[in-house]
Amino acid sequence: DGGITQSPKYLFRKEGQNVTLSCEQNLNHDAMYWYRQDPGQGLRLIYYSQIVNDFQKGDIAEGYSVSREKKESFPLTVTSAQKNPTAFYLCASSPGTQETQYFGPGTRLLVL
């Protein structure tokens, strides 16, 4: 089955710790995206990548980092600089940058 997988489903972060959220797709899509969802706020774009080895900041990139070493993978690292990381994180991909985006099941990040 083709699709987008995100792991883990729940993730706990301690103060000062960096954590990495996984996003993998087997749809052969070129573009991938990370969004953050807070209650009542809708989704906001963190980072996006049009092709391998390239990525761009979105609206709320501070405190986050990404890499795109393989077409199918776009991991997101939440660094200790992100002071309010508790949120639901959604990964998406699309065949090209102007095409429909498809979403993974999400990862909920909680701070201990």
Partner 1 sequence: AQSVTQLDSQVPVFEEAPVELRCNYSSSVSVYLFWYVQYPNQGLQLLLKYLSGSTLVKGINGFEAEFNKSQTSFHLRKPSVHISDTAEYFCAVRTHSGGGADGLTFGKGTHLIIQP
Task: Enumerate the β-bridge partners of residue 85.
Answer: none
Give the residue with the Cβ less far from partner 1, 55 or 82. Answer: 55
Contact 47, 66 (CB under 8 A): yes
- Please report, for residues 75, 81, 100, the alpha-carbon distance to residue 87 in angstroms, rounded to integers and kept in the order given: 16, 15, 24
Residues that bind partner 1 (rule: CB under 8 A) add up to a total of: 27
- Whether omega for the bond prior to residue 8 falls within 30 degrees of 0, making it cis, is yes
Residue 41 lies near partner 1 (rule: CB under 8 A): yes
Residue 95 lies near partner 1 (rule: CB under 8 A): no
Among 27, 45, 52, 111, binds partner 1 (CB under 8 A): 45
Only one of the segments 12-20, 44-52, 69-77, 79-87 lies at the binding site for partner 1 (rule: CB under 8 A); that segment is 44-52
